[in-house]
Structure 1
Amino acid sequence: MSIQSILNEKVTSAIHQAGIQEEFNPAVRASTKPQFGDYQVNGLMGIAKRHKINPRELATNVLTHLDLDNIAEKVEIAGPGFLNIFLKNEWLSSHISSLVQENTIKMTDQKKQTIVVDYSAPNIAKEMHVGHLRTTIIGDCLVKVLDYLGHNVIRANHIGDWGTPFGMLIAHLEDIESNAKNHQQLSDLDMFYKEAQKKFKENEEFANKARKYVSELHNGNKKIISQWKKLIDITMSQNQTLYNRLNISLSQENIMGESFYNHMLPGIVNDLLSKNIATKDQGATVVFLEEFKNRDGNPMGVIIQKKDGAYLYTTTDIACLKYRYETLKADRILYCIDARQNQHLQQIWAISKKANYISEDVSLEHIQNGMVLGDDGKPFKTRSGKTVKLLSLIDESESRAYKLIKEKNPTLSDAEITQMAKLIGGASIKYAELSKSRTTDYIFNFDNMLSFTGNTAPYLLYAYTRIQSILSKSNLNNSLEQKYKFIITNNIEKQIALQVAQFEDVVKTVAKDGTPHILCSYLFNLSGLFSSFYESNPILQESEEIKNSRLLLVQIVSIVMKTSLELLGIESLNKM
């Protein structure tokens, strides 16, 4: 249990004993300034206001019931009614030592949930581009964090694998396969898609064949279905290569494309009509939502079936939500997609709730992300104005990382440099993304993200290798934490101990709010504190007791850093 959780329980009990029985949040938080203690209780003023009590009187009453004798050296009332808690060094030392079990920090959420995380979602027969960067990286970080906390996490890669364009794509694939010379065109998916579009617009015979194939695809023609599956396999095989290079945990088994829900669509439309949630309007089937207004101030109409019988993304997404609740038994569903999709999500959620396809108890969350911008403040493009492909982005990052490492470590072999460059190149892209608040746009800059100073992946990876060097020189036995005692001897050691103690709260905040940048900030701050400690505190030259105590602290910091990097999807290095 984290220190914040322990103090929350103690303070809550004292508030109850002080006569307050309602539900409340004691708002126990780590202090930002040491003069205000190690932790603060900030919720008493709000409680006092609701009960029309003087907040300092309430604080005094709570303090008489607060049992922190073994935990705190003192608790003081500050300002209008804050409580400042100063922890005992001995208790903090013992607590930190107890966090490490078998060279790992184990924690679980109290309530295990089934959580579906919808992320990445590339389109078939198109290359993944910079627009897929944030959803893919943020989503994968969140599934790692939720996995770590013991939840049943279901990765859902909702690929765009259905719709009218597949007629022209299948027709073009057929043409390519009939001409062996053109078979290599399949390696360039964007070129493949553009050529299919061009033929569809300029060649009426091809266009008619494409329309016919759409119909045959929808009717289950085995040959057409086989070609359709081939397009999916080719695309997702290329995408899997990108996932692997970025250390993304998605695989083939996580694919749940639009086509997966096709069989549900007719039943959903009929059900919504029978429940009078949907109505016929000019031949189309429409749901009018009072919660959303059009430009005239009237209820907005959401089409779920066109007058020609075609279904829309909205229909598919309603079926998808219904499936995730009824079949996957989701308690919580996270959509890691563009902020511009918020109204669309709100509409499918509203329709699904009206139809009782999902319980009000299920948490539906839009993990919104902003845009990736270039140095000009506009959406990140190539110099020619084209969308930046993820493959070229990774290649460029690895190439730049290779040059930097070679400059800093000219004695390393080419194989060693190449291996490091691959790891650092991908890690730098990921960390540059995760360290920014996901709700805001950010400027993509290779020089900044590959810097060995500041809040970057190279800086943190280098800081971690310094720690490994200390442990290596010490000939540390892995069972040290069981044999020796951590003793706080100065202020910087206490600051590190307090930072380590906040790890569980940080991880659970990321899981709750979908905010990986908080973990990045935490990791950067911990690295900075350790750097200050290392520069001012000898380790191996001290007495045996102090040496072992400080080595234990180094080991604990090492475990927290390695775990944090793993949760961010970044592989650590032992040397750089």
Structure 2
Amino acid sequence: EMHVGHLRSTIIGDGVARVLEFLGDTVIRQNHVGDWGTQFGMLMAYLQENPITSNELADLENFYRAAKKRFDESEEFADRARSLVVKLQAGDKECLALWGRFRDISLSHCQEIYELLNVKLTMADVMGESAYNDDLINVVNDLKAAGLLVESNGAQCVFLEEFKTADGEPLPVIIVKADGGYLYATTDLAAVRYRSGVLKADRALYFVDQRQALHFQQVFEVARRARFVTHPMHMEHMGFGTMNGADGRPFKTRDGGTVKLIDLLTEAQERAYSLVKEKNPELAEADLRNIARVVGIGAVKYADLSKHRTSDYSFNFDLMLNFEGNTAPYLLYAYTRVAGVFRKLGKDFSEVEGQIVLDAPHEQELAAKLAQFGEVLNSVGEKGTPHILCTYLYEVAGLFSSFYENCPILSADDEAQKQSRLRLAALAGRTLKQGLELLGLETLERM
């Protein structure tokens, strides 16, 4: 199942993809999941020993844990698991059928989370490591033909001048291990070739942990040298920092295990539910639950997206659920204030006539900020940094609040001024809603 470490790549990638689509680009999502390799041999070997039903298999987490324990404790079991991986890679029918079952169960867990997170990834976007398996031998042969492969300690490697160890020794990009196994670099090279040659991408954005920076520098350079990039394609590693606990260390459970993402999202919704119920005890249960979902999930996503992508950050429920400061609840509430004005009128944002006339300083400041929306989105699309959009929306919300308090809308001096201020408020509301949507956050009409 997905754990908290999977959150950042998922939502940062989704946010940038949404912005690029909004700006008119054709975006092809490629969900590069680890759906191949040793772990599947381990699961198959354990299933041979412990035949179980599909229902029991649905709890893949416990099954995986038990298989991993056997793998670590028994050399005979580990050898059997490895031999099953070889059979799987060779296309053994029985192994492929079992692998398909494990993969489908695992991906269905992911899909539930994507839907809860309001992320646009679907099953059709999954292009896992397994998709490139048949091309790996071609990658090796083509590197050999290009004169790039060198044998080193039994492994097949590429050595590039610009990559050296601290002692000045050449740093290998290992393509085939001494035991004949392939590595991430091999699969990533096959993926580069597919994205350039088949998808004809102009730009390939990789949303992967910052700690993989060297890996991608090497892979991109090998791909260029081997001429795997046939259609001109920019390759950009959009690295990100880690999400840490209050102690500044990577987020873990009390007993040191990894935190399941579903548990974190459930807790966020429960905390939001308590907060909303406290503020609005008269609301119907269904409304409370819906608001709690939008606020809870939005708070987790926004707390992450509002930090610079490359920074580590400390996860803190109390801060992210605060209705003051640069948080999702504050922005959602700002939007409901705009919606509230139009609800009183019984009108939609689009039903306001008249010119916008900017007389008061608060009107001018808000309008100047709204005019920057396109520029902000272009910057997000170019740099892959959603925090720029978060900061912008926070500023819009603050300026709308000042405008709302200082420039009476419904009790304006005359009808022309009232219509002008309504149009400005409507534009602020649309910008907030559109901006939050591009970050993958839902909005609420009332809170």
The TM-score, its normalising length taken from structure 2, stands at 0.96
Is structure 2 residue 111 aligned with structure 1 residue 240? yes
Q: 1:472 and 1:196 mapped to 2: Cα distance?
A: 57
Pick one of 20, 23, 39 that aligns with 1:146: 20
The aligned counterpart of 2:178 is 307
Of 205-214 and 427-436, more deviation after overlay is shown by 205-214
Percentage of pairs with the same residue: 49
Deviations 1:431-478 (A, max 9, x none): 000111111111100000001111111111111111101011123365
The aligned counterpart of 1:525 is 395
The aligned counterpart of 2:217 is 346
**How many pairs were matched up?**
446
The aligned counterpart of 1:43 is none
1:528, distance to aligned residue in structure 2 (A) = 0.5
Any conservation in 2 of the 1:371–1:442 contact (CA below 8 Å)?
A: yes
Q: Which amino acid aligns with 1:487?
A: V
Any conservation in 2 of the 1:480–1:552 contact (CA below 8 Å)?
A: no
1:345, distance to aligned residue in structure 2 (A) = 0.2
Any conservation in 1 of the 2:342–2:349 contact (CA below 8 Å)?
A: no
Pick one of 117, 129, 147 that aligns with 2:3: 129
Any conservation in 1 of the 2:299–2:320 contact (CA below 8 Å)?
A: yes
Q: What is the Cα-based RMSD across aligned positions, in Å?
A: 1.6
Unmatched segments (≥5 aa) in structure 1: 1-126
Q: 1:272 and 1:377 mapped to 2: Cα distance?
A: 43
Any conservation in 2 of the 1:353–1:359 contact (CA below 8 Å)?
A: no
Pick one of 477, 483, 486 that aligns with 2:356: 486
Q: What is the correspondence of 1:421-432 to structure 2 with a 5 Å cutoff?
A: 421-432=292-303
The aligned counterpart of 2:31 is 157
Is structure 2 residue 155 aligned with structure 1 residue 281? no
Any conservation in 2 of the 1:289–1:301 contact (CA below 8 Å)?
A: yes
Q: 1:536 and 1:164 mapped to 2: Cα distance?
A: 64
Q: 1:244 and 1:132 mapped to 2: Cα distance?
A: 15
The aligned counterpart of 2:234 is 363
Q: Which amino acid aligns with 1:370?
A: G
Any conservation in 2 of the 1:284–1:303 contact (CA below 8 Å)?
A: yes
Pick one of 368, 382, 396 that aligns with 1:498: 368
Any conservation in 1 of the 2:362–2:406 contact (CA below 8 Å)?
A: no
Q: 1:243 and 1:478 mapped to 2: Cα distance?
A: 30
Change in Cα spacing, 1:441 to 1:416, as seen in structure 2 (3 Å) is same
Change in Cα spacing, 1:477 to 1:239, as seen in structure 2 (3 Å) is closer
The TM-score, its normalising length taken from structure 1, stands at 0.75
Q: Which amino acid aligns with 2:238?
A: I
Rg comparison, structure with higher value = 1
Of 555-564 and 293-302, more deviation after overlay is shown by 293-302
Q: Which amino acid aligns with 1:237?
A: S
Q: 2:49 and 2:158 mapped to 1: Cα distance?
A: 41
Q: 1:436 and 1:477 mapped to 2: Cα distance?
A: 33
Q: 1:383 and 1:186 mapped to 2: Cα distance?
A: 27
Secondary structure in structure 2 of the residue aligned to 1:154: coil
Q: 2:387 and 2:179 mapped to 1: Cα distance?
A: 46
Q: Which amino acid aligns with 1:467?
A: V
Pick one of 404, 407, 416 that aligns with 1:537: 407
Is structure 2 residue 131 aligned with structure 1 residue 257? no
Q: 1:215 and 1:279 mapped to 2: Cα distance?
A: 24
Unmatched segments (≥5 aa) in structure 2: none
Any conservation in 2 of the 1:185–1:191 contact (CA below 8 Å)?
A: no
Deviations 1:325-377 (A, max 9, x none): 01110101111111110000000011011111115942211111111111111
Q: Which amino acid aligns with 1:156?
A: Q
Change in Cα spacing, 1:313 to 1:479, as seen in structure 2 (3 Å) is closer
Q: 1:508 and 1:381 mapped to 2: Cα distance?
A: 36
Q: 1:523 and 1:243 mapped to 2: Cα distance?
A: 24
Q: What is the correspondence of 1:44-83 to structure 2 with a 5 Å cutoff?
A: none
Deviations 1:290-323 (A, max 9, x none): 0101243132222101232211111111111111
The aligned counterpart of 1:438 is 309
Q: 1:196 and 1:203 mapped to 2: Cα distance?
A: 11
The aligned counterpart of 1:228 is 99
Deviations 1:115-143 (A, max 9, x none): xxxxxxxxxxxx21111111111011011
Q: 2:24 and 2:363 mapped to 1: Cα distance?
A: 31
Q: 1:462 and 1:471 mapped to 2: Cα distance?
A: 15
The aligned counterpart of 1:383 is 254
